Amino acid sequence: MRYVTEKIVSFAITLLLVSTVTFFGVNVLPSDPAMLILGTEGDPERLESLRQELGLDRHVLARFVRWLRGMLSGDMGRSIRYSVEIAPLIRNALPVTLLLAVSAVGLALLISIPLGIGCAVRQGSFLETASLLLSQLGMALPSFWLGLLLINLFALRLGWLPPAGFTSGYSLILPALALAVPRAAVLTRIVRGSMLDALSQDYIRTARSKGLPRQMVLYKHALKNAAVSIASVAGVHLTQLLGGTIVIEQVFSLPGLGQLLLAAALQRDLPLVQGLVVTSAALILLVNFGIDLVLMGLDPRLRYE
Amino acid sequence: MRSKTVWKRVFEISLLMLMLVGGTILAAAKEETINIAVPTDPDSFDPTRSVAAATAEIAFNIYEGLVKSTPDGQLTGALASHWEIDSSQTVYTFYLREAYFHNGTQVTADDVVNALDRARDPQISQRAGNYQAIASVHAQEGNQVVITLKEPYAPLLYELTELAAAVYPKDAAGLDNRPIGTGPYKLEEWRPNQYIKLTRFDRHWSGQQPFFRDVYFRIMPDYNSAVISLKTGNIDLIPRLEASFLHQVENTPNLAVHADPMNLVQLLAINNARPALSDLKVRQAIAMAVNRDQIIVGAAWGQGEKLYSGLSPAMPEFYNAGLENLLPYDPARAQALLNDAGYANLELTMTLPAPYPLHVQTGEIIADQLRRVGVNVRIEIVEWGTWLEKVYTQRDYDLSIVGLTGKLDPHTILSRYVSTNSRNFTNFNSAEFDRLINEGISASGPERKSIYDQAQEILAREVAAVFIMDPLQLNVLNAEIKGWQSYPIYVIDAAALYK
């Protein structure tokens, strides 16, 4: 119980800090939404009346307090850029980013776990050399570039998958793959390293000498121990993706949180930026919490700390 | 063995039929739909609030005013079938057609009066400033609307084509995202960051039905993915494609490129109020150091028309075509002028807007051209918001490059160079020019043309800015789609397209 209360309090404080920093950070930037909306047709009179209409003539602190009060009562306010409520905007974008991040990390695990185990078990084999070489390449390849290559091959030349936009689940295959490959490259090395580490432990020798089947030693004893470091690294990647698929969303024209945030920031749509930042921050906190739970499940020692 | 073959055959045939049927259904659905890539979402569909060009080009299909523009920039009746102007040039009488709103109600003169009264109310409308010449609007027996002006104002009819003067039902609310107009298409769905879906309106006054039932404007901020989607057939049309992508789409068999003037005036803005730049000789030297041909090839991939003053040839009625040799490209003379003025080693900063590669590249080329005549230019690339604040609003800059979007009336375009105009960010100051613009408001016919000819000449000779080019608008379509119409304003005329 105390653990839960502590978590909730630290959640709230983190969110408050994050939103305060963003609010004032965005306010320091030159220009404001009114100026950006009017562009090269603006004049001081219209600028003034638009600022009044958008509530930008009020003091920064007053605006912040007003925003905070709205947030606490569950009202995220209206977007300046899109002239609509913010909550549905985020509700529409959230699943795209969430699905993309989860499938990218899932795909990365699907590739890296068998490869990593293979490398650890057959040290010095062709498989290991090839995997390590490919992993080096994968780590050096930026996701957006890989994304463009994938579009060229699978959408343009073969015509199997849509090149851009979000029309169905198929739209997520290429971007997820583009995000997964560099992560799989890192994870393969982590899996290999932690498996090698686990396999050299005394208890493995004991298990082997007891005459346990090879498979059981590998999966039940070694992998379970290696899983702690694999899960924590995968978790880091997941949180990273939740906060930053902006580039890949741009390359594939995906209507996710990243693209919304970019549009909002460029237009100085402060309420929308705030809503998005708080949402991603909350998401990351939740995922971190989830990972903590998973790690505790995997490693009993963590439970009593 | 035998029965297995039979079943296999049955399976094959049914699969084939399924594919055929499915294919036909898909093809039929595709036939009726057109997908257009646009870089950003509209800001608001409320005519009193919207200011973005991104909205105007979509809203052209949804809303109509009393009059509208034709593809060559002429006026034609929209909700008004015709109109009369009295001899004092201050009373305009519009005769309304029988027309219906998207919600099924008939358009009345009261709706028009309400919309125009709101459009000119500074408390309500963002564009009220454009309609301050209007003294009153009232409905008259026989479905007529009478607009009375305070004094003659020639641009009025052009201002009435703008989205700000669109007509909507007088009891309409929430037009922001639920527009109700009279245009050939109505808004079906708007999913921000994804698409805007328009559907054919069956009761348009013209009695004609657009070919495509559904029009999707798909938001694709990245031109790379838009171009690939065009090649794979997921997108049918990219309006205003950036010139640097031209080589990816030209000479592609299933694509057609329409290149027409955009009516955008790209200029090297010179801050006329800066000490060195307030010297006419220095400005003229800069103008003579600029080689437009090199810029059009280097920055616009050859896709641009040279400009010498503030109007583009996309406005044939008012364009002054005789200014080419006023200050021709002549680096030697430019250098001599600079020496003459005592600025042999001038140092200037050029502030460029990052999101516009065309302007940035143009700036880099011009900086190089200026260095050749001894002007040392330091380039500073800033984000759009910063540009608007620093260059446009505070006028704190030496040189900059930007594009000014076209309007239908020369007054709206040229009045920004009037010394007291708040949009005059080049700080241009010419009493003669101010006088001409003031006269142009109430002039008409050949007299008006002659006034704007002189005004354009002053802008060029006294170098309010160095006018560079009107970049061509590259509209790239799937070759199966016909009927594309380029306008001198921001318009995507979806109703004109067919297969």
pLDDT band at residue B135 under the 50/70/90 scheme? very high
pLDDT of A263 above 80: yes
In chain A, what residues touch B384 (CB-CB under 8 Å)? 31, 36, 266
Judge whether A87 is closer than 8 Å to chain B, CB to CB.
no
pLDDT of residue A240: 87
Identify residue B231 by its one-letter amino acid code.
K
pLDDT 10s digits, A126-150: 888 888 888 888 888 888 888 888 8
Give chain B positions within 8 Å (CB) of A86. none
| CATH number at B35-41+177-260+473-496 | 3.40.190.10
pLDDT at A41 over 80: no
pLDDT at B16: 55
Find, in chain B, the residue whose alpha carbon is nearest to that of A152: B228
Separation between Cα atoms, residue B111 and residue B137, nearest integer Å: 11
Q: Nearest CA of chain B to the CA of A60: how many Å?
A: 18
**Of residues A251 and B1, more confidently modeled:** A251
Buried b (16+ CB within 10 A) or exposed e, B304-318: bbebbbbbbebbeeb
Contacts of B44 in chain A (CB under 8 A): 83
Q: Is the pLDDT of residue A229 over 90?
A: no
Residue B313 has pLDDT above 60, yes or no: yes
Q: Residue A78 pairs with which residues in a beta bridge?
A: A85
Residue of A nearest to B38 (CA): A253
Whether A263 and chain B come into contact, CB under 8 Å, resolves to yes
Domains and CATH numbers, chain A: 2-75 (no CATH), 94-255 (1.10.3720.10)
pLDDT at res. A304: 58
pLDDT of residue B186: 96
Mean pLDDT calculated for residue range B72-77: 90
- Whole-angstrom CA distances from B469 to B29, B357, B404 are 42, 15, 11
Q: Out of A40, A49, A93, whose CB is closest to B122?
A: A49
Those residues with Cβ within 8 angstroms of residue A280's Cβ, 6 or more apart along the chain or in another chain: A242, A243, A257, A261
CATH superfamily of B64-165: Dipeptide-binding Protein; Domain 1 (3.90.76.10)
What is the average pLDDT value for chain A, to the nearest integer? 84
| Interchain contact A288–B (C-beta under 8 A) | no
Mutate to test the interface with A, among B45, B50, B193 (most CBs of A within 10 A): B193
Contacts with A82 from chain B: Cβ below 8 Å: 41, 43, 192
Beta-strand relationship, B237-241 and B214-219 = unpaired
> CB within 8 A of A212, min separation 6: which ones?
A221
Using a pLDDT cut of 90, give the percent of chain B over it.
73
Q: Mind listing the pLDDT tens digit for each residue in A141-196?
A: 888 888 888 888 888 888 888 888 887 788 888 999 999 988 888 888 888 888 88
More confident residue, A167 or B306: B306
Predicted confidence band at B203 (pLDDT cuts at 50, 70, 90)?
Answer: very high
Q: Give me the residues of A, 224-253, that contact B with CB < 8 A.
A: 250-253
Tokens linked to A81: 């850029």
DSSP B186-199: EEEEEETTTEEEEE
Tell me what pLDDT residue B1 has.
43
pLDDT value, residue A116: 87
B423 to chain A, any CB pair closer than 8 A? The answer is yes
Is the per-residue pLDDT at A301 higher than 80?
no
CA distance A299 to A301: 5
Q: Which residues in chain B are classed under CATH 3.10.105.10? A: 265-471
Residue A305 confidence (pLDDT): 52
Write out chain A residues lying below 8 Å of B385, CB-based.
29-32, 35-36, 266, 268
State the pLDDT confidence band at B399, using cuts at 50, 70 and 90.
very high
Task: Report yes or no: B231 at the A interface, CB cutoff 8 Å.
Answer: yes
Within chain B, all domains assigned CATH 3.90.76.10 are found at 64-165
Q: Which of A194-198, A269-273, B19-23, B193-197 has the highest mean pLDDT?
A: B193-197
What's the gap in Å between the CA of B192 and the closest CA on chain A? 7
CB A33 within 8 A of CB A56: yes
- B415: closest chain A residue by CA: A41
- B232 at interface of A, judged by CB pairs closer than 8 A: yes
Q: A91 touching B, CB under 8 A?
A: no
Does B221 touch chain A if contact means CB atoms closer than 8 Å?
yes
Chain A residues within 8 A of B224 when measuring between CB atoms: 148, 251
* ipTM, interface predicted TM-score of the complex: 0.79
Contact state of A253 with B218 under an 8 Å Cβ cutoff: yes
pTM for the whole thing?
0.84
Q: How far apart are the C-alpha atoms of B497 and B41, rounded to whole Å?
A: 22
For chain B positions 184-213, those within 8 Å of chain A (CB to CB) are: 191-194
C-alpha–C-alpha distance, residues B467 and B461, integer Å:
11
Q: Helix %, strand %, coil % for chain B, to 5? A: 35, 25, 40
Buried b (16+ CB within 10 A) or exposed e, B184-193: bbbbeebbbb
Q: State the pLDDT confidence band at B161, using cuts at 50, 70 and 90.
A: very high
Contact with chain B for residue A90, Cβ under 8 A = no
- Using an 8 Å CB-CB cutoff, list chain A residues near B404: 40
pLDDT single digits (tens) B136-159: 999 999 899 999 999 999 899 999
B265: enclosing H helix or E strand: strand B265-270
pLDDT at position B252 over 50: yes
Stretch B90-112: mean pLDDT: 96
List the single residue in A with minimal CA-CA distance to B392.
A40
CB pairs under 8 A between A and B: 139
Is A271 near chain B, with CB under 8 Å? no
Cβ of residue B10 closer than 8 Å to a chain A Cβ = no
Instruction: Indicate where chain B has its CATH 3.40.190.10 domain(s).
Output: 35-41+177-260+473-496
Asked whether the beta carbons of residue A253 and residue B221 sit closer than 8 angstroms, the reply is yes
CA distance B459 to chain A (A): 19
| Res B30 pLDDT > 80 | no
Residues A166 and A92: beta-carbon distance below 8 Å: no
Summarised one tens digit per residue, pLDDT across range A44-89 is 888 888 888 778 888 888 888 888 888 888 888 888 888 788 988 8
Computed over every residue of chain B, the mean pLDDT equals 90
B174 touches chain A (CB under 8 A): no
Spacing of C-alpha B53 from chain mean position? 6
With bands split at pLDDT 50, 70 and 90, how would you rate the model's confidence at B348? very high
- Give the Cα separation of B289 and B329 in Å (integer): 6
d(CA B468, CA B304): 9
Q: Would you identify the CATH topology of the domain B265-471? A: Dipeptide-binding Protein; domain 3 (3.10.105)
> If 0-12 CB within 10 Å is exposed, 13-18 middle and 19+ buried, where does residue B96 land?
buried
| B392 chain-A contacts, CB cut-off 8 A | 40, 42
What pLDDT score was predicted for residue B472?
Answer: 92
Q: How confident is the model at residue A212 (pLDDT cuts 50, 70, 90)?
A: confident
- The verdict on a CB contact (< 8 Å) between A50 and B422 is no
